[in-house]
Each structure stands twice: as C-alpha cells, then as structure tokens.
Amino acid sequence: MHAIQRFRSLSTCAASGPVAQRVALSMLRRDPRPSIHILLMLLLLSPALPGLADEPRSSLNVTIRGIDGAPRDNVNQLLSVRALDGRRIVAQIEPGSESRQVTRSAIQRAHRAAPREIREALIPFGYYLPEIDAELIDRDNGLEARYTIDPGPPATLRTVTIQVTGEGADHPAVERAIAAAELREGEQLVHRRFSTARDRIFDAAYDQGFLDAEWRQRQIRVLPNRTEADIVLVLDTGPRFYFGEVEIETERLDPNFIARFVDIEPGDPYDVRRLLDLQLALNDSQYFTYVEIDVDAENVDEQYRIPISVRTQPSRPQRYTVGAGFATDTGPRANLGVQLRRVNRHGHRFRSDIQYSPIESAITARYEIPIRNVARDRLDFTATARQIEIGDAETNQFSFSVGQSVGWQGFRRRLYMQVQREQFEFGDEPSQTSDLLFPGITLTRERSNDLMFPTQGYSVDIDARAGASAVFSDVSFTRLRANTRFVRALGPNARLLLRADTGALLTDDFTALPPSQRFFAGGDRSVRGYGFQNLGDRNAAGDVIGGEYLLVGSVEVDYLFYGNFGAAAFVDSGDAFSGSFSPKTGAGVGLRWRSPVGMIRLDVAHPFDADDDFRIHLSIGADL
C-alpha cells in the first residue's frame, strides 16, 4: 500500500523530469542499501528521465457525428476547435516553441463556443432546430472533443414571392433568370439557392441596361416555429439605358479604321457584354498595350443614352520572337521571327519567320490586310521557301498563296489560291519537279472549356483542294483531308481523348504528284510506335512514297495523379495506303505534365507490326 502511494506521488512529479530525478537521488542518499522497491520505481520513472526516452505526447482529437455532406463541411469550416485538431496539449506554450501546440484552457474555450458555431453553420441549410451533444473526454492519449449532432427537421418554404417591376419586368433575360431560380414552395430552405437566384435576377436586369435596378425587398423570413420560411424578392428595374456615341482615342491608326472595331450603334440597348467584346477585340488586335472603357453615367441625356469613351495606348510597332523546342518527330528546332504590327495607319501587318530543324528548314513572309470584321477577318499574301524530308523524300518547295480568312457558319473559313513548285527525289530515283496551281478551302472549328487543359470539347479541321493539268498544273488531282479531336472528362482528374485523321486523293498520275500532296502516317501525332511519316506505300527500293488514302484513329486516357503531373495509356492504329487497307497498331503508356506552355507528353509505345520493341515519343502542344 505504501509502495503504491509513494509511486503515485513520484508519478505526479514526473511531469517535470528533473524534479523526479532529484527525488530519486535523495532517496538513494538517505538509504544507500539496495532496495527492490527503489529499483522498481526508477524503472517506472525512467521514461520521464531526460535522455532515456521521449515524453509521451497527448493531443486533441475532434469527432463529429450525425451529419454528412455539405452541412458537415460547413461545420468543419466554422468550428474553432477543428483548427486545434491534432495539436499537442501542453501546460504552457513557451516562446519559440513549435506552432502546433495548444493549452487545455484554449481547448475548453473553443469547446464552449462549439454549440453556437455548429448552429450557425447549419442555418444556411435550413436547420434551425439542431440538438447538439458536446463532450470533452479525457483519453489516455489526450482529449477528445466529440459533437453528436441531430440537425432536426429542415425549414421548408411556405411561400415564395418573386416580383419584378419597371420597364424590365417582361424582358426575356429577366424572365429566364426567374424561371431558373431553385426556389419552390414546399422544398427545403437552402440559403445558397436564395443568394444565387437573387444575384442572377439582378445581374440579368443590369446586364440588359437597367442600370438603376434596385431591390425593394430581399428577405428570408423564418417563422417562429423554425420549420417554415417565406421568401420575398421584389426588384424595381427602373428605366432602360441605351448606348450613346462610342469614341476611341488613338494616335497611330486611322480613326475610320479603328471605328470598324465598334459593333455598337447609338440607340442600341445598353449591354455590358458588348462592351466586354469590344475591349477584348481591341486587346487581341495587338495594336494596343492598354485599353480602358469609360461608361460616362454622369452625362446621360433625356433618352437615357450613355456616352462611351475608350482610351488606348499603342503597342510597339515591332515585335521580335526567338523560340526553341524539341520533339521526336522533328528533333531539336529553333525559330526567329519579326512582326511589324502597324505597317500603315490602316492596320496592315507584316510577319517573317525563319525555322530550322534537322528535317525542315523554312523561311516565310506574310502580309495581312484587315477586312470586313477587322477584329478577325484577313486577306493575306504568303511566300514560303522550304526544304523538308517527307517520308523518304528530299524536297525543296517554293510557294506563293493569296487567302481570305473570315467567320462562316460557326467555322473559320479560308479560301485560297496557291502556286507551288516542288523538287523531290526518293532514295536513288531521279529527281522530279512538279508545278501546281490549285484553289482550296479550309474550315476550322474548336469548342472547349479550357484552351490549355480542356476536359470537354472538340476540334475539326477540314481542307479541300484541286488542280488541273489543263490549268497550269503538271498533274490533275483532288485532295480532301479531315482531322477531328474529341475530349471528355471521366472524373475530376481523368480524361478520354479521341482522335481521327482521314484523307482521300484522286489523281491521274500518282508518281507525278509531289510528296507534299500525298498522305503519310506514323509519329507523335499519328500512330505512335512508328517513325515520323514512316507508314505508307513503298517503292521497289523500300522507300516510303506515301499513299492515296489516310485512315488513322487513336484512343487515349490520361489521369493527373499529383498536381499537374499524370500518366496516360493509349492505342493508335492506321495507315496511309493506295490499295487495300492494312492498319498498323501501336500501344503504350506515357507521362504527362500540364505545363504553362501546354501539355508535355513523354510516351513509350510498342509497335505490333514492326520489328522494334518500343519507340519513345516526346511532344508539346494543345490537346485539340
């Protein structure tokens, strides 16, 4: 009995290790004879002695029971004691000590505030009568703050009153916002739905030019029984405002040319989205480094017309670019470019680029004239000299084209006329020269929710061209090519990517047609596992000479498993051919990095129809 009492006394002192050590040494000095009791006590006290073992750690554990989903998340956000969860409990926090410490008194204060905080966290979800059992329990390893919550019956909507008065009461945008409100009598009261409906109705009125719109009432009235509520939303739109004159301040460009950016007429209903479109068009034109739109609401006339002024700062007339990159299709590459943003006061532009890689060297000059919708439409004149390897052919190309690019039926449409001379040779075959003159049309369209990392979207790129031997061409041909891409989310971090590339060529003399007009397959963006443009018909010497048809498909799934890093698995199949279709298939896995310049892909692919075991592919660029 005395031994037990003495042990308890020393255990109390063990909270401060040096004190326990002094007590034990004192006992040894008073009774130097060996004692089994003293040895036993020293053994039991040894964990508290400095240098023998670490002091036992006690911490706070917070437990919430009875609710799930969004209410639970909101409770965790507002609960003060949750911020202390997992902290080490100490008697006093010393200056300079670790930050994840907490005193018992701080825990008790947070615990006392918990019931009030839980009630406040449940109110946005319509729970006004919760029952909360709050406990602070001593455990061997510290304290447990346990909260058992019965949210009680949710408040339901007894009445919902939404009224709009003024000129905008019957406006379609306002009516759509009211119809979209998730507020129905008999349904559970959720404050977020009230806030969303309130903001959408107001924004719909304001964006359509009702700038004096004002809420007369916007209330949630909870009845005394706490199980029913009334919602009242009454908006007075006031009068509708209209656009007045739009003036753009500019120094370097003809005011008549700049005025063509403005798609707003005086007297048009005020619409903030049209001002945003104007600002984006001016920013994207590259003529300006700064664009600010001022809505002069202080000088509204009697017809409620608002003057609009646009202040701009011109960009530098020249822009120089230097770039470098690497892909397994092309090897290392570099390019230099210069752009003259304002050749004259009418917004004409000039650009020249020099490009080099082991398989392609090119110099291009391009002159552009804004037409029609000057923000997007162009008339261009392009001259190119290029030396490039296509399949197993060495080619030298010289071309000049005139093109018109405009918006058409939701596509970007480019009509062009091109003249081209191409010298080419396959292996040891004699060199050939081909002169072509052909018109063509290109249609492109892209829709996605994110340009850099889309999780939903598609792109279409179609090109059709034709030349005739009777009209300045050495060979008659008709060529059609279509490339489509599709992406769809499979979850928060996973995507499905589909790709199809097809083409068809009709000609009276395939051997006379230059390689640039033939079809080839294989490479980073074609059938992985095979070399760049290494799939196609072959001549007697085994050189790849391309095909009259192209059919390639790809299925890929990628998944970001850590931040911007991920992995992918894929299967590609297809071929370029002139006779029967015999697809070549490759499959593999890869790593992905969602970089600031686009997706970087490192793939390892196995070709099922070649002797190679695997092939590595590295590529950079957009997914669509």
- Distance (Å) of CA 443 to CA 121, 477, 480, 487, 532: 54, 20, 12, 20, 26
Q: Does residue 364 register a pLDDT over 50?
A: yes
Range in 34-38, 310-314, 435-439, 552-556 the model is least confident about: 34-38
Q: What's the pTM value of the predicted model, to 2 decimals?
A: 0.74
Q: Please state, as a whole number, how many other Cβ atoms lie within 10 Å of the Cβ of residue 251.
A: 7
- What does the block give as tokens for 177? 């916002």
Superfamily of domain 242-314: membrane protein fhac (3.10.20.310)
Alpha helices in 180-236 (DSSP H): 191-207
| Domain ranges, ordered by start, for the chain | 2-48, 59-150, 156-236, 242-314, 318-621
Given this chain, do its domains 156-236 and 318-621 carry the same CATH topology? no
* Separation between Cα atoms, residue 81 and residue 377, nearest integer Å: 61
| Helix H or strand E segment including 383 | strand 378-390
DSSP 8-class letter at 296: -
Contact between 421 and 398 under an 8 Å Cβ cutoff? The reply is yes
Q: Does residue 44 register a pLDDT over 70?
A: no
The amino acid that residue 512 corresponds to is: A
Length of the chain: 624
pLDDT in tens, 115-138: 999 999 999 999 999 999 999 999
pLDDT category of residue 96 using cuts at 50, 70 and 90: low
As a 3-state breakdown, the chain gives helix, strand, coil percent values, each rounded to 5, of 20, 45, 30
Q: Please state, as a whole number, how many other Cβ atoms lie within 10 Å of the Cβ of residue 474.
A: 18
pLDDT category of residue 91 using cuts at 50, 70 and 90: confident
pLDDT category of residue 57 using cuts at 50, 70 and 90: low
Q: Please state, as a whole number, how many other Cβ atoms lie within 10 Å of the Cβ of residue 3.
A: 11
pLDDT in tens, 153-166: 999 999 999 999 99
| Predicted pLDDT at 593 | 96
pLDDT in tens, 276-297: 999 999 999 999 999 999 998 8
Contact between 572 and 564 under an 8 Å Cβ cutoff? The reply is no
- For the chain, the farthest-separated pair of C-alpha atoms sits apart, in whole angstroms, at 124
Considering only residues 451 and 191, tell me which one the structure prediction assigns the higher pLDDT: 191
Which residues, 6+ apart, have CB-to-CB distance to 544 below 8 Å?
391, 392, 520, 533, 534, 535, 536, 537, 538
Which residues, 6+ apart, have CB-to-CB distance to 157 below 8 Å?
183, 184, 185, 186, 187, 188, 189, 228, 229, 230, 231
CATH of 318-621, one of 2.40.160.50, 3.60.70.12, 3.30.1360.230, 1.10.3720.10: 2.40.160.50
Secondary structure (DSSP) of 431-473: PEEEEEEEEEEEEEEEEES-SSS-SEEEEEEEEEEEE-TTTT-
Beta-sheet pairing, 432-448 with 584-595: unpaired
User: Per CATH, is 59-150 categorized as 3.10.20.310?
Assistant: yes
Q: Does residue 201 register a pLDDT over 60?
A: yes
DSSP 8-class letter at 493: S
Q: Does residue 30 register a pLDDT over 80?
A: no
Backbone phi, psi, residue 370, to 5°: -65, 140
- Over pLDDT 90: what percentage of the chain? 79
- What does the block give as tokens for 541? 């010497």
* Separation between Cα atoms, residue 474 and residue 310, nearest integer Å: 54
User: Per CATH, is 156-236 categorized as 1.20.1740.10?
Assistant: no
Which residues, 6+ apart, have CB-to-CB distance to 498 below 8 Å?
485, 486, 487, 553, 554, 555, 556
The amino acid that residue 609 corresponds to is: D
| Predicted pLDDT at 29 | 41
Contact between 572 and 554 under an 8 Å Cβ cutoff? The reply is yes
pLDDT in tens, 301-327: 989 999 999 999 999 999 999 999 888
| Predicted pLDDT at 140 | 86
pLDDT in tens, 522-579: 999 999 999 999 999 999 999 999 999 999 999 999 999 999 999 999 999 999 999 9
pLDDT in tens, 441-494: 999 999 999 988 999 999 999 999 999 999 999 999 999 999 999 999 999 899
Q: Please state, as a whole number, how many other Cβ atoms lie within 10 Å of the Cβ of residue 289.
A: 11
Mean pLDDT, rounded, for 79-92: 90
